[in-house]
Chains A and B, each alone.
Chain A
């Protein structure tokens, strides 16, 4: 046997083993009949059926969208709210890689993974909402560069940010596959991806708000202002961090076997630090809301049902969680931090829906309410995302420590 042949054989064996490795890894790990699976599986199947009906009979077959309200739950919740929650990735990478706050390093991977999956699935949900999804590549390939469109910017940013996040996360994939050379190259690209990613996030988090700038008369004046983009950006900071706190609290219970003793202990200190950041960001946000409110001379609208709803949002879901975050930081009370994060997330859902759905055409004769089918598809998308998230967590070094060889090289 010549030398070349033996190398070829070696390569072949290597490839075979990678193939076998993938097959082994693709198999489910853990029990199939858990309560979560029993709830999520039927909804995912139902969602799939509804999606088939949607592509067969049209969007109107399963949604309550009208000619007056063309964007409903799928945009207002799945995309606009979902992307705000995915903001944690750019905030945490900013803190760790730009501000060099090493304390938060242990949650970078899980946060970036969460962000990446959120974008993949919410962009996926966007495809369901597109009437002509086969044309989705047009703004990318140049069959019409609508450069005057905010949506053009948002679409490009979604695509580029997904790539940036994939690069940020890719060392974990390389460690999982045992690809040492790739790991070294990909790790070297992290800082560039982080800087690019933060820039993109700044622009498209605010861009999602800027989408509604042209709908001036259609959105209730309490929620419409030329400052929507800035408000969306600032609120995405604490929306994303609240999601990190919430997700971290659940992950540390569900995947406790994955997390090292050291990181387990560090987690409370991380939450403690994040509650401080949230307090600051929420204070800045509250200040901005008040400025916008006074500047717009909006008090005339307060004494109405929409006005009371506005006050509920601002006091119940901005001021109160901000105070809770502050006290939880002062008293180092982790439970209070978690409660504050849940309240904040509810507030973000309410705020985004107020701009996109509830306050949109608030004065119209007939109102839009999402159909049960729209809600079922939304739930199916979220559950599918959690399934993929779980699949990755159980295989790649996301929560668990990196293999020894990867640590040495960095």
Chain B
């Protein structure tokens, strides 16, 4: 087999196209870094564990009302029935309450994992789920470093459930229900950059009150939900092994190699096939001579 000019151009075209397409499709999610997301700053030194946010969340999303309450030693987790919980921790600075919900990462693992784009990171900041697209594979749950997407295992029409940062309310110019209903003003809604500045200001003005760490500033490549704490975050049950780079980056190398292999493999295989074919026919010729 020899490559004539027409074939050469054909191969060239296919190669170029797959490189172009490959690049375009993979580079897309990165751009979101430049967009200024909204977010929530949660100050656990102000939180009094009153569960107003849990009640407001249940009401806003039509979920059952909370029946238990935060207790030291008991870890309550979010599930398909509740999208946010308050836990109490006994720390070196006394009892501290912490709210838990989806972190709304800047570059979420769940959206990178989703093969139908049912999980979507919006310009406004929230990560939401679309039931018309989702096939229920639960790869988002496998990928999420915070284990936040929850699945309705006991339904024949199951949904992925997690905090949506009240995306519907945001679109109408409102703020999330939990932020609006917090009597202690432990939460603040705003642009992520302003929230980080505000968090820095609070740490600077009260260095004894806060630990010098804004959880979510760099965790998992940055999240829309930001935390302030009086004690190191491991005392509040936060995962400390979360990487500071984004999670989708972990599979980027593999995805980048795909178009390359797709172009090189067939050509290499054809080459080998051709080489072995020739060798065989030559030896046959020798035998027949």
Interface residues of A (CB under 8 A from B): 55-61, 63, 65, 67-68, 70-71, 94, 97-100, 129-133, 135-136, 138-139, 143-153, 155, 191, 195-196, 198-199, 202-203, 206-207, 210-218, 226, 229
Chain A residue at smallest Cβ distance from B30: A148
Whether a CB of chain A sits under 8 angstroms from the CB of B5 is no
Q: Do A139 and B273 touch across chains, with their CB atoms under 8 A apart? A: no
Which residues of B are found within 8 Å of A195, using beta-carbon distances? 265-266, 269-270, 273
- Given A206-B254, A214-B143, A214-B250; A138-B133 close (CB under 8 Å): yes
Q: Do A58 and B154 touch across chains, with their CB atoms under 8 A apart? A: yes
Assembly CA distance A33 to B257 (angstroms): 52
Q: Do B139 and A211 touch across chains, with their CB atoms under 8 A apart? A: yes
What 7 pairs across the A-B complex have the smallest Cβ distances?
Answer: A131-B136, A60-B153, A144-B117, A147-B25, A144-B116, A152-B115, A132-B136
Q: Which of A61, A97, A130, A199 interacts with B137 by CB under 8 Å? A: A130
Assembly CA distance A229 to B79 (angstroms): 32
Which residues of A are found within 8 Å of B269, using beta-carbon distances? 94, 98, 195, 198-199
- Given A58-B152, A203-B258, A214-B113; A196-B26 close (CB under 8 Å): no
Q: Do B251 and A67 touch across chains, with their CB atoms under 8 A apart? A: no
Task: Count A/B pairs, Cβ under 8 Å.
Answer: 177
Which residues of B are found within 8 Å of A217, using beta-carbon distances? 145, 239, 241-243
Whether a CB of chain A sits under 8 angstroms from the CB of B142 is yes
Which residues of A are found within 8 Å of B147, using beta-carbon distances? 67-68
Q: Do A153 and B138 touch across chains, with their CB atoms under 8 A apart? A: no
* CB of A397, distance to nearest CB on chain B (Å): 25
Which residues of A are found within 8 Å of B25, using beta-carbon distances? 145, 147-148
> Which of B143, B243, B248, B277 counts the most chain A CB atoms within 10 A?
B143
> Which of A58, A143, A199, A214 counts the most chain B CB atoms within 10 A?
A214
Assembly CA distance A99 to B145 (angstroms): 44
Q: Which of B117, B138, B248, B273 interacts with A97 by CB under 8 Å? A: B273
Whether a CB of chain A sits under 8 angstroms from the CB of B131 is yes
Whether a CB of chain A sits under 8 angstroms from the CB of B11 is no
Assembly CA distance A98 to B267 (angstroms): 12
Q: Which of B112, B136, B138 interacts with A133 by CB under 8 Å? A: B136
Which residues of B are found within 8 Å of A136, using beta-carbon distances? 135
Which residues of A are found within 8 Å of B139, using beta-carbon distances? 149, 151, 211
> Which of B132, B137, B143, B239 counts the most chain A CB atoms within 10 A?
B137
**What are some 30 contacts across the A-B interface (CB < 8 A)?**
A60-B154, A67-B79, A98-B273, A99-B276, A130-B137, A131-B136, A131-B138, A132-B131, A132-B134, A135-B135, A136-B135, A138-B133, A143-B133, A144-B117, A144-B118, A145-B25, A146-B115, A148-B111, A149-B139, A150-B113, A150-B254, A151-B113, A151-B115, A151-B137, A153-B255, A195-B265, A202-B261, A213-B254, A216-B243, A217-B241
Apart from A59-B153, A131-B134, A132-B134, what are 15 other A-B pairs with CB-CB below 8 Å? Answer: A58-B158, A61-B154, A67-B80, A67-B150, A99-B276, A100-B273, A130-B136, A131-B151, A139-B115, A143-B116, A144-B115, A144-B130, A149-B139, A151-B137, A214-B143
* CB of A75, distance to nearest CB on chain B (Å): 9
* CB of B154, distance to nearest CB on chain A (Å): 4
Which residues of A are found within 8 Å of B132, using beta-carbon distances? 135, 143
Give the contacts of B253-275 with A (CB-CB under 8 A): 253-255, 258, 261-262, 265-266, 269-270, 272-273
Whether a CB of chain A sits under 8 angstroms from the CB of B247 is yes
Assembly CA distance A379 to B26 (angstroms): 39
Which residues of A are found within 8 Å of B258, using beta-carbon distances? 153, 203
Which residues of A are found within 8 Å of B113, using beta-carbon distances? 149-151, 214
Whether a CB of chain A sits under 8 angstroms from the CB of B92 is no
Which residues of A are found within 8 Å of B143, using beta-carbon distances? 214-215
* CB of B278, distance to nearest CB on chain A (Å): 10
> Which of A59, A67, A68, A210 counts the most chain B CB atoms within 10 A?
A67
Chain B residue at smallest Cβ distance from A127: B135
Which residues of B are found within 8 Å of A203, using beta-carbon distances? 258, 261-262
* CB of B269, distance to nearest CB on chain A (Å): 5
Which residues of B are found within 8 Å of A145, using beta-carbon distances? 25, 117
Q: Which of A63, A70, A98, A146 interacts with B117 by CB under 8 Å? A: A146
* CB of A348, distance to nearest CB on chain B (Å): 21
Chain A residue at smallest Cβ distance from B27: A148
Whether a CB of chain A sits under 8 angstroms from the CB of B40 is no
Which residues of B are found within 8 Å of A210, using beta-carbon distances? 251, 254-255
Assembly CA distance A211 to B140 (angstroms): 11
Which residues of B are found within 8 Å of A211, using beta-carbon distances? 139, 142
Which residues of B are found within 8 Å of A132, using beta-carbon distances? 131, 134-136, 157-158
